[in-house]
Chain A
Amino acid sequence: MEDLNAGPYATRRADAGSGVADAVVHEVARLLRRLAVDPDFADVIDLRSLPMADADRASLRQRLGDGEIDAALNLAGLTRIRDTAYSGVWWARHADADNRCVLEQIIVARVPELLMAHLADIDAAAVRLSLELSRAQGKPEHA
């Protein structure tokens, strides 16, 4: 399990956290309350653009904790999506083919969009499956 805390843009200065972690947790709490009243609500916090020192990220990670799901997505490089101890709050780490983290997000939603199969993919899959069935039973294909 590679270290989730090695953020993509870890700054060299390891001085104490700059208090950004608290701010983010407050934001997450606010979004979670929104989700609680509106199931279709979804929002994402991009950690890359925040002035996060390593210590901030570690404390944020530790405060949100881990949940039951740990999903690994192979999409032009590994993407790990874990839910946190607070259901509805997910932690996503996108890496490229060399497993260098290019993006880290906190997603507040019932389920991150990335995990949901895309409708277009589903249609194509349905077509493919029916083709496979027809081939398996030797019948000619029909559109």
Chain B
Amino acid sequence: MELLDFARGTALAIAFAVFVAGTLWRLAGVLLLPRIRDFSPAREGAPPAMLGAVRAVLRRMWPRKEFVQATMFATINSYVFHIGLALVVFGLAPHILFIRNLTGLAWPALPSNLVFGIGVITLAALVGALARRLVHPVLRLLSHTGDYLSWLMTVLPVITGLLATSHLGARYETLLAVHILSVAALLVWFPFGKLMHAVLFAFSRGATGMRFSHRGVNV
């Protein structure tokens, strides 16, 4: 029981502190770098920069039709586990309670068994993603320890969560504690690895969106 108390208490507090501090540190550290202005005249009829940015953020949610075929597996599989993770995290009743306790917001939950099913699919997709990263020559060349650690930090909460829900493998308080600790590990690692793309993706796409809407290109 001590482990569960530690997990629900100190561990989460430290994890949130590191998560928030790290994320803002990295975000501020990037956004406060010098902003190189573009003095060239914009393309005639080009939308305002911010609109160009927002459009790019939304448009780049799905690959352009020319690339759908070539990136089919990566796109579909990634969306399976991204949407899966979202449904599990925001759909399971205990998770909603965790969020309510943190923020005061709450909403109706999905049936727990359904969420369990989604969790299993998410786990499968994540394993699929790792398999591809280990097999595909391009991904093997690109990947470094950070990528595999980010994968591990994402998959552990899913595994421990499924085990905790099915009360398998140990006493429940241990399973729940391990699950919470794995989430704490995810939060601590988040700002320092590529999980940060969950925050940076909008700024990154936006910057390119601005650069090219200035030139009259729908990037």
Direct A–B contact in complex, judged by CB atoms less than 8 Å apart = no
Query: What is the interface of chain B, defined by CB distance below 8 A to chain A?
Result: none
